[in-house]
């Protein structure tokens, strides 16, 4: 298929805003869908465009308006932005005002010193390139992807502020920042008149660092929201590995973030116990895990990906279940031991 000659028949589902709740982002005026769609994995050139397009459009039909990207996502780097740019051009252009498009810069994407870090050149140069990839004049949220201790934080702040002042971003965010650094940059951005909108940390039943480090409390105090990634712990909080095996095509076979050796007996026992909590509620382990991260009011949105529309439907149904009880939360704390199956 040639992207340039593709003719869409897409029309957004009329009831798309009736499906997913929207949550306020910190102390800002911006609401995000409770689930955001991430293009971190499965949106490079190694997957069919037709499938990628179908999933993105289905996410929007379900009421997901927030789409998370980065210059690093692929493979190769920047490929995921180009995929979304084609879907935006061919299908979603009439709905641009309804979308929250995000991108990130700062994680290395090449050998050049200007393709990484938090310098003004790296961040603003990457943003310009991302806007071309996406085919849009602005992104709604521009993130610094990872803290850079080698660059003065004032320079990073200045670049983020410039992105807003130049009309290339409406809001700014950070990702993977430790709590003290997040508090520092939030104060500097506030002083510059461009408040920190949101922080993107990893958070799940098996990864409690946002709780343990005080990041959740800091977000509430400093007025920024949290959009959490890997809420399913790279698939460990699904039924995929419950029998202790790694099925063909599973992420643990070829992912830099999840290795087969973490699928051990300790993991299996803990995941099986969590799965029983979920089954007693009539839901899957994945749905339980998603509901668990969203139980915190400080969490604005949870990032989910999908390799099919059916998987996306299944995960979104996590919103249909009643709140977790104190007894259920205690069981989750008992079996959802921090660090399980993860290389922290």
Q: What are the sequence ranges of the domains in the chain?
A: 20-233+287-324
pLDDT score recorded for residue 314: 98
The domain made up of 20-233+287-324 has a fold known as TIM Barrel (3.20.20)
Going by their DSSP bridges, the two strands 225-228 and 31-33 should be labelled as unpaired
pLDDT tier at 309, thresholds 50, 70, 90: very high
Q: Which two three-digit tokens encode residue 245? A: 């095996």
CB 6 within 8 A of CB 90: yes
Return the exposure string of 14-29: e unless at least 16 CB atoms fall within 10 Å of the residue's CB, then b.
eebeeebebbebbebe
What percentage of the chain's residues is helix, strand, coil (to nearest 5)? 45, 15, 40
Average pLDDT, the chain: 94
Tokens 């009831």 correspond to what residue? 15
Predicted confidence (pLDDT) per residue in 113-136, tens digit: 999 999 999 999 999 999 999 999
How far apart (Å, rounded) are the C-alpha atoms in residues 153 and 178?
Answer: 14
Predicted confidence (pLDDT) per residue in 315-325, tens digit: 999 999 999 99
| E runs forming strands in 183-326 | 196-200, 225-228, 299-304
Predicted confidence (pLDDT) per residue in 232-268, tens digit: 999 999 999 998 676 655 555 455 556 677 889 999 9
Report the SS3 class of residue 32: strand
CB 104 within 8 A of CB 175: yes
How far apart (Å, rounded) are the C-alpha atoms in residues 288 and 279?
Answer: 9
Q: Is the peptide bond before 75 cis (omega within 30 degrees of 0)?
A: yes
């Amino acid at each position: 298929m040639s992207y340039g000659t593709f003719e869409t028949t897409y029309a957004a589902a009329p009831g798309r805003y009736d499906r997913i709740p929207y949550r306020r982002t910190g102390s800002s005026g911006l609401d995000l869908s409770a689930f955001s769609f991430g293009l971190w994995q499965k949106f490079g050139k190694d997957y069919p465009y037709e499938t990628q397009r179908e999933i993105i459009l289905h996410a929007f039909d379900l009421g997901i308006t927030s789409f998370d990207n980065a210059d690093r996502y692929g493979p190769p780097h920047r490929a995921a932005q180009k995929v979304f740019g084609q879907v935006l051009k061919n299908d979603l252009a009439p709905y641009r005002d309804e979308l929250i498009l995000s991108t990130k810069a700062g994680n290395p994407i090449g050998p050049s010193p200007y393709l990484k870090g938090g310098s003004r050149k790296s961040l603003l140069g990457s943003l310009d390139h991302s806007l071309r990839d996406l085919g849009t004049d602005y992104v709604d949220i521009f993130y610094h992807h990872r803290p850079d201790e080698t660059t003065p934080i004032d320079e990073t702040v200045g670049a983020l502020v410039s992105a807003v002042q130049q009309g290339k971003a409406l809001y700014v965010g950070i990702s993977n920042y430790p709590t003290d650094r997040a508090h520092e940059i939030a104060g500097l951005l506030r002083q510059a008149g461009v408040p920190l909108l949101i922080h993107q940390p990893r958070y799940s039943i098996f990864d409690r660092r946002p709780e343990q480090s005080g990041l959740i409390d800091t977000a509430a105090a400093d007025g920024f929201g949290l959009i959490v990634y890997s809420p399913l712990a790279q698939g460990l909080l699904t039924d995929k590995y419950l029998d202790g095996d790694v099925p063909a095509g599973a992420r643990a076979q070829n992912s830099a973030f999840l290795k087969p050796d973490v699928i051990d007996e300790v993991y299996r026992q803990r995941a099986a116990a969590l799965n029983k909590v979920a089954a007693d509620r009539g839901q899957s382990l994945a749905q339980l895990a998603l509901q668990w991260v969203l139980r915190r009011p400080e969490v604005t949105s949870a990032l989910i990906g999908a390799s099919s529309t059916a998987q996306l439907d299944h995960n979104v149904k996590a919103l249909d279940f009643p709140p977790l009880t104190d007894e259920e939360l205690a069981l989750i704390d008992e079996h959802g031991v921090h660090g399980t199956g993860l290389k922290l």
